[in-house]
Chains A and B, each alone.
Chain A
């Protein structure tokens, strides 16, 4: 059963994206609706366009045709800065600022939004606790002093700091060892449900897709070839899907 929620938070309307140097479009005629509270996973191999799709949502890229609507308004109509502050962005390795403390990193967006200092500090402590990092131990450290897994948690905390309704995650757990990865995946799933966040997550890991996604969008060559719930995906007859599922038993 496809859980179609009440209000679509993000809508792709026949979106294409190409760049002048390449003959083939990176995204062609992509349509997708993401409801509030949903986690949609964009699954695919390298070069299928999943990261590009993600970046169209927070206007890091602009569609060459079609429109991407966030909360009903096209990304081109939004004020770029306001749009981005409205969205939490998590990337591989966290993308943390090496010259800011953990607290500085996490509190960045609220500070930019003009929250007062005490409010920022409270929020930072709250978030660090939420992602399993003791504020007293970690707030004043620097990213280089943390392990990969810890940095990733900070990245998630940072994305959640200003309490945005929408999260974009680009292979967030890709650089972690398998044990940490599974652990963080489970924590994130729980957190996301608890906070009622809408999330679009890009991954090439089918296991992750099955675990985290309310729906999985399988992408190939700039198009969505399959859009199903994990249960449907497992039973799918689609060739590509079956290839992915095969890796579950042969690969690690």
Chain B
């Protein structure tokens, strides 16, 4: 469908995401101003602290945003998944421009003017309030403007910690290779940044004292009024949504990773629980290892995972091949070390599928990975971040088969399929249940040396959160999804671009 059709169909969700985005930015800027401006003022009085504090704010800004978000999650009170964690990170990011510009603005007041003020018998407080601050206001607002525009951009990352915002569309669009999602998310964010820049630029003009006298015209006043009201409403709205977390005790929080299959499995659990009248909160599309962290901290109760991943990436054991052994050991160690339980396997495996183009496989008669080994020095490989960084991923894999590639590129997993089919890379490590494998005429090479451990799909659940309904549901789901069926479900969402909730609803109805 074209972009306009997409907008027509999805504008309610887009508007919700915009609202979430705006609220996150507004509230974080407000807090950053409340902390940053007084701090800046103090720094103009106490020279000793200037370097250390400015240096600290500088460091905050250089920490990669996703890392900062992830770092904050396990902390008590300010941590957790959702808006609160995102806000803390956003405030930290916005502090530097605001503090620095406050200091620069106040110190930048004409020395003659300040001297005249002091010589006339003004107290330090009077000098600050009547002379320095009014004259510094233009520069301070510039700092706020810069911080706001940066915040609009950084807030897109907030989606990775479940805080919502336009990042949801951007990440989803990347994952599903859907330009409509990408465009709408990115365009909306860019527009927001421009609007914020413009409005704050107007405010800045109010405070310029060189050149022509400022006539505060009616239009500017109205615009400022709108901003003030919007800020107030946003703050109120965000406080209201925060009170939802008060009912933590009575509901199940289900998390998922940020790829389609994980969301589908999580959605299945969610809908089945809701059918039983259980209150469910969805914290989907979390990046990296956040779902596991969330369970450890009690911020979430359940998420779909794979036994192989538990075994190697989380428990750090070297990979082995026996599925039952892997399952038993994971179950035992999860209970012992994390107080977590894993459900019986759901019936399919999602292992790393080493994929090549169908035509290459047929031409070179490739069936197993060992068949391909002599070809690899001529090939470029493309792998997702997960595969590159995990010990049971690329490092172990290339060692086990003695592989040497012409070039190895790291990119977003969902892009690797298209990269392979369009000949930009020659071999990828995709997911075995990926719906697009057949559609793009990709062939999976057999793991003849049995390098990859079994990755049986299971649910990981917090023992403390196990209610009778939850236990019943988990046992009901055991062995209910075969590999083909999972591929089909994936394809419905990724290939046919259908809504996940619809697809899951259908499947549940079908499988009764």
Contact A84 B116, beta carbon cutoff 8 Å: no
Least CB distance from B205 to A in Å reads: 14
Contact of A85 with B113 at beta-carbon distance under 8 Å, contacts A99-B134, A142-B213, A144-B211 already known: no
List chain B positions with a Cβ less than 8 A from chain A: 112-113, 115-123, 126, 130-131, 134-135, 209-211, 213
Assess whether A99 is in contact with B135, with CB atoms less than 8 Å apart.
yes
Q: Which of A4-12, A87-95, A119-127, A239-247 sits within the interface?
A: A87-95
With an 8 Å Cβ cutoff, the count of chain A residues facing the other chain is: 27
A85–B119 Cα distance when bound, in Å, is 8
Residues of B within 8 A of A84 (CB): 118-121
Interface residues of A (CB under 8 A from B): 58, 60, 80-87, 89, 91-93, 95-99, 108-109, 112, 142, 144-145, 158, 168
Task: Find chain A residues with CB under 8 A from B123 CB.
Answer: 81
B213 touches A144 (CB 8 A): yes
Nearest 7 A/B pairs, CB to CB = A95-B116, A85-B121, A84-B121, A89-B119, A98-B209, A95-B112, A81-B121
Q: Shortest CB–CB separation between residue A165 and chain B, in angstroms?
A: 14
* Chain A residues within 8 Å of B121, by CB: 80-86, 109, 112
The answer to whether B120 and A60 touch across the interface, beta carbons within 8 angstroms, is no
A85 touches B120 (CB 8 A): yes
Q: List residues of chain B with CB within 8 A of the CB of A85.
A: 120-121
| Given A142-B213, A144-B210, A144-B211, also A97-B119 (CB < 8 A) | no
Q: For the complex, give the distance between the alpha carbons of A126 and B122 in Å.
A: 23
> Is the CB–CB distance between A89 and B116 below 8 Å?
yes
Can you list 10 contacts pairing A with B, beta carbon distance less than 8 Å? Answer: A80-B121, A82-B121, A91-B115, A91-B116, A93-B112, A97-B113, A99-B134, A109-B121, A112-B122, A168-B119
Inter-chain contacts of A87 with B (CB < 8 A): 119
Contact B213 A98 (CB under 8 A): no
Q: Are B112 and A99 in contact (CB under 8 A)?
A: no
Nearest residue, chain A, Cβ from B207: A99
B216 to chain A, nearest CB (A): 13
Closest Cβ of chain B to A155, distance in Å, is: 8
Cβ–Cβ < 8 Å partners of A80 in chain B: 121
**In angstroms, how far is the closest chain B Cβ from the Cβ of A17?**
17
Q: Are B113 and A95 in contact (CB under 8 A)?
A: yes
Q: How far is the CB of B395 from chain A (nearest CB, A)?
A: 60
Query: Which A residues are CB-close (under 8 A) to B115?
Result: 60, 91, 95
C-alpha gap A157/B126 in the complex (Å): 21
Contact partners of A96 in chain B: CB under 8 A: 113, 116
Chain A residue contacts of B211, Cβ below 8 A: 144
Chain A residues, Cβ within 8 Å of B209: 98-99, 142, 144
Cα–Cα, bound, A215→B134 (Å): 41
Contact in complex: A97, B112 (CB < 8 Å): no
**Whose C-beta in chain B lies nearest to the C-beta of A108?**
B120
Q: How far is the CA of A85 from the CA of B121 in the complex (A)?
A: 5
| Residues of chain B with a CB closer than 8 A to A99's CB | 134-135, 209
Complex CA–CA separation, A84 to B126 (angstroms):
14
Contacts of B119 in A (CB 8 A): 58, 60, 84, 87, 89, 91, 168
Assess the B112–A91 pair: CB atoms within 8 A: yes
For the complex with contacts A84-B119, A85-B120, A97-B117, 16 further pairs of A-B residues with Cβ separation under 8 Å are A58-B119, A80-B121, A92-B112, A95-B112, A97-B113, A97-B131, A98-B210, A109-B120, A112-B122, A112-B126, A142-B213, A144-B211, A144-B213, A145-B213, A158-B120, A168-B119
Shortest CB distance A68–B (Å):
15
Q: Which residues of B contact A81 (CB under 8 A)?
A: 121-123
